[in-house]
Structures are given as C-alpha cells and as structure tokens.
Amino acid sequence: MSDDLNRQIFKEEAYDLLGELEGALLELEQAPEDTDLVNQIFRALHTIKGSGSMFGFDDIAEFTHEVESVFDKVRNGDLPVTPTLCSLALKSRDYIRKMLDSADEDEVVAPDEMQEILQGLQGFVLNSADPVDIDEKGAEEPESIVEEVNAGSPADFHQYQITLTAKSDGDVHESKLDSLFEELEKLGEFRVVTRPGDVPGDDAGKGVYWELSLLTEVPRDDVGDIFFFADADLDVEIVELGVDAIVGEESPESVEAVAEIVLPVDKELPSLTDDLSEDDYNDEVEAPRLGEMLIKSGEVTEKDIQEALKKQKPIGQILAEEGKIAPENVARAIQKQSEVKEGEANRKRQEAMTSIRVAADKLDYLVDLVGELVIVQAQIEQVVSERADPVLTALAEELGRLSDELRDSTLSIRMLPIGSSFSKFKRLVRDLSGDLNKEIGLTTTGAETELDKTVIERLADPLVHLLRNSIDHGIETPEERIANGKPPQGMIHLSAEHSGGEVLIRITDDGRGMSSDTIREKGIERGLISKDSELSDKDLLKLIFEPGFSTATEVTNVSGRGVGMDVVKRAIDSLRGTIDIDSKFGKGTILTIRLPLTLAIIDGLQVQIEDGFYVIPLSLVEECVELARSEFDDNESGQKILHLRGEIVPYIHLREWFDIEGESPPIEQIVITGVEGSRIGIVVDTVIGEHQTVIKSLSRVYKDVKGISGATIKGDGSIALILDIPSLVRRVISESR
C-alpha cells in the first residue's frame, strides 16, 4: 500500500513538472539565451528521472535520462538552443506524459515514437556539436573527478557535505538509503564519511545520522532533488564546501579560478584540519579531526576551538595577501556569494510556505457539507424569526456570520489561478500556426485571476475551440497581412480579470475580422433571418452561434464544417456564463466571456408565482419595477413588450410560459435582466428578496428542461427552482420564430 501511495504521489508531482516543463520550453524558444530557463528545464527532467528510478518507473527514467543528457550539454554551452531542439523536447515531454498515463500497463508505449524522438535527439547532437569538441572527447578521460579537478577546471565542480538525520531514533534502516546512495554515486565522487555509531557519544546529542561527501558538477538544487521522494523519515542538510581542499599546490591557476567563482568566503570551516590530500579523499576511513582529538584529550575546550575558528581568515583574504588574486576579484566573488545566499534564503522561505495535496472529491464533499450547513442555517434563522427571542436571535446572527465565513473560506480552497491552463494554449498556438504556415504570437495577462476549479476544467474545451477559430479564420497568412499593411506576425491576446462577482475572459486577435454582409448572406441562405429583416451588426454577429453556421469558404482539418460555435455557446451557458462578440472587418475580433466565480453557491433573487418559488441569479438582475397589467403591450404580431422610461423592453410572462394556473395579480413585478447585451423583463407575481442559493442538481428526468438549471432548498424545507435565464430567452425566441 505504501508503494502504491508513493507511486501515485510521484505521478502527481511528475504531471506538475511536465506542465512546468512545457511552459519553460515555450519560453526558451522565444528567449534561447536565457540560462535560467535551461537550468529550470534540466532540473525538471532530472527530478522526473531520479524520482522515476526510485519508484520503479524505469522506462520513464531511462528515456528522460537521454533528454536530460542533451540539456546537460546545452547547460554547459556545448549545444545551442534552436527551434529544432525545442520541438524535440516538447515531443519528448508529450511522450513522457503518455508513459505516465499508461504506467500501470506492462507494454512499451508507442515504441516507434520513442525511437523517432531518440534518433532526432541523437541527430541534433551530432549536427550541432563542434567537430573539435568531438575529437577532444575521444582523448583519454581522467580516471576520477579528483584528477579532473586537478587538471585545471575546479570552477565547474562543487563539493558538498550532506548530513542525514533521522527524525526518530531507530526508524531508519540503511537498506532504505541504498537507492539514495546509488543515485549519489552516479553524480560524481561519493562516499559515506560517518555512519550511526561511528563516533561514540555523538549519537546521544545529535540523533541517528549519516555524514556524506560528494564532489560533482551538479548544482546543489539537483542534489537536493535526489532526496525529494526519499522513502525514509530524514532531515537533510546540504552544505557546499570549496573544492580548494581537493586541488593540489601545483595548480595555482585552479586555485585562482575557485577563489574568483566559488570562494567560500566567511563560511565556517568544518574543522582545523580540512587540508585533505587526494589519498585522504579517496580513503574509506577518515582520520580523526584535530579539534575533536584536542577536546577529548582535555587540553582545550569546545569554546576554545570555536574562538580559534572565528579568528581564521577567509580564504579570499589569504589569497589576496599572498598576491595570488586581485582584491577586486575577491570582492566580486563575495558579491556573487551574497547573491547565491540571498537566492537560497528566498528558496527556503518558499519551502516554509507549506502546502498539501487534497483529492478533488474530498474538496467537493466539503463544499457539499458547507452547502447543507447553509441550508440548515437558513432554516434556523426562519424558526428564530418566528419566536422573536433576543437570545436565539443573537445566536442565529453569530451562526450566520460563521456560516458565511466558512462558506467563503471553503470556496476559496477550490479557487485556482486560470493561468494554470494558459501554457497549453501557448502550445496550441505554436503547433497550429506551424501547421497552417502562419506566424502567430500569443500574449496573456491576468494569469493570477482565480476561478473555481470546476469552471476552469469545463472552460478548457470552449477556449481551445475559440482559439482554433481565431488562428484558422481570424489571423491571415503573412503574405495577406503584408498586403494589407499589417506586420507578418499576427497576435492573439488572452486576458482574464475579476469584475464584481464575475470573471471576464477575453480573446482578442488582430486578424481579418468578420463581415456583417457575409454573415447576413449566410443567415438568409440558411433561413435564420428574412431578406427584409433589419438587424444591427451586433445581432448579426450572434448568428455565428447558431447550429451549423459557418462562413468558411473551405473545410480544413481545423474548422469549416459549421460545428463547434453552438457547442461553445451551450458550454458557456451551462456554466451560467455569457459570451459576447465584437468584430471589425479588416481589424480583428474580441470575444468576451463572463463567468461566475463558482458553481456551488450563488447569490440569487427569490421570486414567487402563485405557490411556487423561483430564484434568478443576482448577477443577471439589473432592476425590479412594478407595472399594472394595463401597461403591458401585446402587439398584433404577438410580441410582448413594455415601455420602460421611454425604452422598449421585451418580456417573458413566467405564469403563461410555465402554464401555471390562477389569476395574475393586478400589479405585477418585472425583474429586468441583462442577457447577452440585451434587456429582458421577467414577469412574476412577487419579488421576495435576495437569497443565498445552494445549487442542487436536478435528476435525469428534469435535467433537460429548458429554462431551469437546478434547484435549492429554502429555510422552511420547500424547493425553489433556479431559472436559467439565457436558455429561457433563447427558447422563447426560437418558438416565436
């Protein structure tokens, strides 16, 4: 069970890393000189490889190792960043995801695809490498990293002192550390300096611990990744030491390189005798430290040793005094070291902001419970209001306050930044523009805007379809754009922002736009409008959301068959959202989507018709007015309109529409709603007031009823239906036609 849990944790982390990897690769393609992005990509690959090997995903580890090796060469400056490399890396990322998706199967996933990617990577390395470098690699390699350091390149190496401390005595067996030690051995010269019990008396004060030593080219963060999925309850401390102790006296140039780049200036030295020779370094048994021997002999105290250590001069100062390095080089190294320390401090602060993973179904269950609590709280308030007891009233008000805070807090847990899905859209634009031979860039703003996770998940497909339409229909070819006086590269901008209790998402392109005349002709051809109908440009643009409507002159593998935009409209409506379009022919198009923050609990306006109760989402309500029946105007064509302060407003009489028996009151209430840029009146008997609405899904028998999106439970236990105003309006318009 523990292994299954660890494998599941690895898969979840790997999916996150693959998302990070895709975003970094797309950014690297635009900024090939950005070494931070290269390091980020290398770390992601290294973590996937190391953790995959640790938890039995050997196929993933082996394949990722090949990709990681290429980026190791890129990181070292041996290979350039090119569009070809980014394309191969993105294909590799997709293949790793396929292997993760089918990790429980016992067969190799698409072996032909894997071979194609590996051959592509191999060909890239051979075609990009300098022939001189290849010849040099054929020379005899040093037998160990120590010899390589002494050969004159210590600035490329790091010496780490790693301390592993068990969080609870006797809970860690070294057998659990074997895989960790094997991974560390692959990174360079590694040895275990101290095991539990090697130093008598130390364990009592420090606990069960191991001291490890590692000399490697790998950065500290990548060494730390080895312990990320460690199957042992350990505290890990990694301290970087200078490699000057490994370099012999005969290579002053190497010493200068170390002093200039990785000087451990003002870092506390581990002991008075850390001048180790190469033989000492490779020896399995380390000589006792001088300080420890003097303390044990009783000649000095630990305090004397610490004071002596404090009086030691930093290495940079010693080298400057001996004339081996210029003082300004020491100052530059100190500045570099302070920057590294500051970065490390920031990393630790980020690590301190801990978070935990929670299964989505548990969050959904928590929201359901909060919804039930809101219903019970409403029932309590109603009972208390009937009894008029001041003590109960005060308690009910306090319960209401706590209930509201718990509701807001719980819903905020489900909120995610919409930017988490932006990287997939960048990939879509990149790949599709290449297929269509177009030059298209995608910019984004508002990635930090938060939205309910369910809304984000259900919004992904509609956004993909809208972007595909912008790429295929909207943006012209480079030749066409140049002929029209535009830059050859078209731009699509995706933005998100909060607006009251809603989120606005806009897709803007600078393409060819839409011709209202062309849309009118297609509308007449399909019988959607008559030849003599007078519609505004805004109303004409709404025709593109009709089923089967398309202005494409040819069918492609992207679009043109007249399916999709009506599906997008229905998907947005199911989220209780609206979509608006504004287009200027020859200039571009703006699509605006309005969405509620959450689908679980909404603020609504409760209304009544006869003995039935209904809820209208408050975000759609503009105002409420009273009108006598005589003020309504049903003209000869059967259209229902009312005159409101000089404005003609169509209305829907719910009593007639739902065929509710009984007589209408002499004075009725009209709720004016804003739907798709138009004002629509909803006629009801009585407006009761605002109501915090917990949305309950309807059963399969009623889920397809037009105009009803769900139900809620009132304080007295009765049911109120939630009106789907956009769907209701479309149904009325459709039947009137």
Does the pLDDT of residue 203 top 80, yes or no? Answer: no
Q: Which DSSP category does 470 fall into?
A: I
What's the CATH code of the domain at 225? 3.30.70.1110
Helical (H) or strand (E) element with 215: strand 209-216
Which one has a higher pLDDT value, 600 or 361? 361
Task: Calculate mean pLDDT across residues 42-49.
Answer: 89
Strand extents, DSSP E, 271-411 = none
Q: What percentage of the chain has pLDDT greater than the value 70? A: 74
Q: Which DSSP category does 674 fall into?
A: E
Residue 350: half-sphere exposure toward Cβ, Cα within 13 Å: 6
Q: Are residues 233 and 296 in the same domain?
A: yes
Confidence of residue 129 (pLDDT cuts 50, 70, 90): low
Confidence of residue 667 (pLDDT cuts 50, 70, 90): confident
Given phi > 0 = left and psi -120 to 50 = alpha, else beta, which region is 388? left
> pLDDT tens digits for 218-245?
888 778 877 766 666 778 888 887 655 4
Q: Are residues 118 and 192 in the same domain?
A: no
> pLDDT tens digits for 619-630?
888 899 887 766
pLDDT of residue 279: 43
The Cα 559–Cα 426 span in angstroms is 19
pLDDT of residue 589: 92
- Tally of domains in the chain: 5
Chain CA centroid to CA 702, Å: 36
> pLDDT tens digits for 308-329?
666 566 666 777 777 767 777 7
Q: Are residues 631 and 726 in the same domain?
A: yes
C-alpha distances (whole Å) from 83 to each of 26, 90, 489, 665 are 10, 10, 17, 71
Q: Are residues 110 and 161 in the same domain?
A: no
Confidence of residue 134 (pLDDT cuts 50, 70, 90): very low
Which of 16-25, 154-163, 339-348 shows the lowest mean pLDDT across its residues?
339-348
Q: Are residues 372 and 462 in the same domain?
A: no
pLDDT of residue 67: 92
Q: Which residue has the tokens 């004339």?
A: 323
Helical (H) or strand (E) element with 238: strand 234-241
3-class SS at 668?
strand
Q: Are residues 119 and 244 in the same domain?
A: no
Q: In whole angstroms, how large is the CA radius of gyration of the chain?
A: 35
Task: Calculate mean pLDDT across residues 103-109.
Answer: 72
Residue 362 belongs to some domain of the structure: no
What's the CATH code of the domain at 556? 3.30.565.10
701: phi then psi, degrees, rounded to nearest 5: -65, -35
The Cα 513–Cα 490 span in angstroms is 12
Q: What percentage of the chain has pLDDT greater than the value 90? A: 13
Helical (H) or strand (E) element with 133: helix 131-137
The Cα 14–Cα 10 span in angstroms is 6
Task: Calculate mean pLDDT across residues 578-587.
Answer: 88
Residue pair 337/263 in contact (Cβ under 8 Å)? The answer is yes
Contacts of 226 (CB under 8 A, 6+ apart): 50, 180, 183, 184, 187
The Cα 366–Cα 364 span in angstroms is 5
Q: Are residues 378 and 504 in the same domain?
A: no
Task: Calculate mean pLDDT across residues 592-602.
Answer: 79
Which one has a higher pLDDT value, 632 or 50? 50
Task: Calculate mean pLDDT across residues 333-350.
Answer: 61
Residue pair 302/322 in contact (Cβ under 8 Å)? The answer is no
Task: Calculate mean pLDDT across residues 266-288.
Answer: 42
Confidence of residue 25 (pLDDT cuts 50, 70, 90): very high
Residue 360 belongs to some domain of the structure: no
Contacts of 357 (CB under 8 A, 6+ apart): 9, 12
The Cα 710–Cα 89 span in angstroms is 46
Surface-to-core class of residue 479, CB atoms within 10 Å of its CB (0-12 exposed, 13-18 middle, 19+ buried): exposed
Surface-to-core class of residue 733, CB atoms within 10 Å of its CB (0-12 exposed, 13-18 middle, 19+ buried): exposed
3-class SS at 55?
coil
Q: Are residues 640 and 698 in the same domain?
A: yes
pLDDT of residue 509: 93
The Cα 629–Cα 627 span in angstroms is 6
Does the pLDDT of residue 487 top 70, yes or no? Answer: yes
3-class SS at 705?
coil
The Cα 664–Cα 651 span in angstroms is 15
Q: Are residues 303 and 322 in the same domain?
A: yes
Structure tokens at 38: 């290269």
Confidence of residue 261 (pLDDT cuts 50, 70, 90): very low
pLDDT of residue 185: 82
The amino acid that residue 547 corresponds to is P
Q: What angle do CA 20, 26, 29 make, to 5 degrees?
A: 135
Structure tokens at 338: 């302070």
Task: Calculate mean pLDDT across residues 37-48.
Answer: 90
Q: Which residue has the tokens 């309006």?
A: 729
C-alpha distances (whole Å) from 67 to each of 45, 73, 630 are 8, 10, 77
Residue 689: half-sphere exposure toward Cβ, Cα within 13 Å: 1
Confidence of residue 270 (pLDDT cuts 50, 70, 90): very low
pLDDT of residue 187: 81
Task: Calculate mean pLDDT across residues 608-618.
Answer: 90
pLDDT of residue 138: 44
Q: What is the DSSP string of 479-528?
A: HHHHHTT--SSEEEEEEEEEETTEEEEEEEE-S----HHHHHHHHHHTTS
Which one has a higher pLDDT value, 643 or 25? 25
Which one has a higher pLDDT value, 182 or 478? 478
- Single out the residue of 286, 44, 46 nearest to residue 186, CA to CA: 46
Task: Calculate mean pLDDT across residues 580-597.
Answer: 88
The Cα 220–Cα 216 span in angstroms is 10
Q: Which domain holds residue 7?
A: 2-137
Alpha-carbon dihedral angle through residues 66, 71, 76, 80, given to the nearest 10 degrees: 120
Structure tokens at 557: 């593998």
Domain final residue pick, 137, 157, 178: 137
Chain CA centroid to CA 240, Å: 32
The Cα 567–Cα 168 span in angstroms is 58
Task: Calculate mean pLDDT across residues 91-116.
Answer: 84
The Cα 261–Cα 249 span in angstroms is 19
pLDDT of residue 310: 61
Does the pLDDT of residue 477 top 70, yes or no? Answer: yes
Q: Are residues 464 and 386 in the same domain?
A: no
Residue 157 belongs to some domain of the structure: yes
Residue 359 belongs to some domain of the structure: no
Residue 127 belongs to some domain of the structure: yes
Task: Calculate mean pLDDT across residues 645-662.
Answer: 86
Does the pLDDT of residue 188 top 70, yes or no? Answer: yes
Q: Which DSSP category does 700 fall into?
A: T
Q: Are residues 128 and 237 in the same domain?
A: no
Residue 361 belongs to some domain of the structure: no
Does the pLDDT of residue 5 top 80, yes or no? Answer: no
pLDDT of residue 262: 36
Q: Which residue has the tokens 């790429």?
A: 471
What's the CATH code of the domain at 79? 1.20.120.160
Task: Calculate mean pLDDT across residues 142-168.
Answer: 66
Residue 431 belongs to some domain of the structure: yes
Residue pair 513/589 in contact (Cβ under 8 Å)? The answer is yes
Domain final residue pick, 112, 137, 162: 137
Handedness of CA 114, 115, 120, 126 (dihedral sign): positive
The Cα 703–Cα 107 span in angstroms is 42
- Single out the residue of 164, 170, 184, 152 nearest to residue 253, CA to CA: 152
Range with the largest mean pLDDT of 25-34, 50-59, 210-219, 286-295: 25-34
pLDDT of residue 271: 38
> pLDDT tens digits for 393-447?
999 999 988 988 888 888 888 888 888 777 788 888 988 988 889 999 989 898 8
pLDDT of residue 133: 47
Structure tokens at 387: 């009894």
Q: Are residues 169 and 314 in the same domain?
A: yes
Does the pLDDT of residue 265 top 50, yes or no? Answer: no
Cα-Cα end-to-end distance for the chain: 62
Does the pLDDT of residue 305 top 80, yes or no? Answer: no
Give the other-Cβ count within 10 Å of 172's Cβ: 22
Q: Where are the alpha helices (DSSP H) in 201-326?
A: 202-206, 220-225, 252-261, 278-282, 290-296, 302-311, 315-321
What's the CATH code of the domain at 611? 2.40.50.180
Averaged confidence pLDDT in the chain = 77
Contacts of 445 (CB under 8 A, 6+ apart): 493, 494, 495, 496
Q: Which DSSP category does 231 fall into?
A: S
The Cα 583–Cα 511 span in angstroms is 10
Confidence of residue 344 (pLDDT cuts 50, 70, 90): low
Q: Which residues pair with 668 in a beta bridge?
A: 627
Residue 330 belongs to some domain of the structure: yes
> pLDDT tens digits for 529-565?
888 777 878 888 888 888 777 766 555 555 543 446 8
